[in-house]
Structure 1
């Protein structure tokens, strides 16, 4: 089952360039993982310090492998230093069918 994962983060405005560089590195690392399909990065229209990453994975298990990976943990340590609060993560499946 293909899923999309929305990750919402708020960064300190003075660190948006640094955040961008770290998120690009995160994308490159995620691309190496089994099940990665694609991702997009969106910024807030009224507050560009809000960044949402939408990633697509072949399965919830593939996403969980990335989520628990050492690469992601190391990148999150860097991101946490420039975020104003913790990240919000919400996985989604397509349509109205109940997850199995």
Structure 2
């Protein structure tokens, strides 16, 4: 069963954004090479541009956890959290009805 992971971050405008965006893009680029990765999108809230949402689709929860626990991802993610001063929030969703 495929899953979608909602990854929420606050990205302040200015120097912080200039430092964060390359890290977020690096995470996304690395994810595309992971087994089970299907797709991803990076969005911002048009009413509050500091709110960033990454939607990442995976073939299974196990594939996501494998990527989530990888050393390389953790290394980059710790830099992201350090720059934002907040923990990134992850929510995992599964479809109510599978695509058919």
TM-score normalized with structure 2 length: 0.89
Shift of 1:53: 0.3
- What runs of 5+ residues in structure 1 fail to find an aligned partner? none
CA RMSD, 1 decimal: 1.5
Where in structure 2 are the equivalents of 1:77-92 lying within 5 Å? Answer: 77-92=78-93
Where in structure 2 are the equivalents of 1:65-80 lying within 5 Å? Answer: 65-80=66-81
- Greater shift, 60-69 or 19-28, is seen at 19-28
Partner of 1:54: 55
Shift of 1:96: 5.6
- Greater shift, 41-50 or 58-67, is seen at 41-50
Q: Aligned residues, how many?
A: 97
User: Structure 1 segments of 4 or more deviating over 3 A?
Assistant: none
**Secondary structure in 1 aligned to 2:34?**
coil
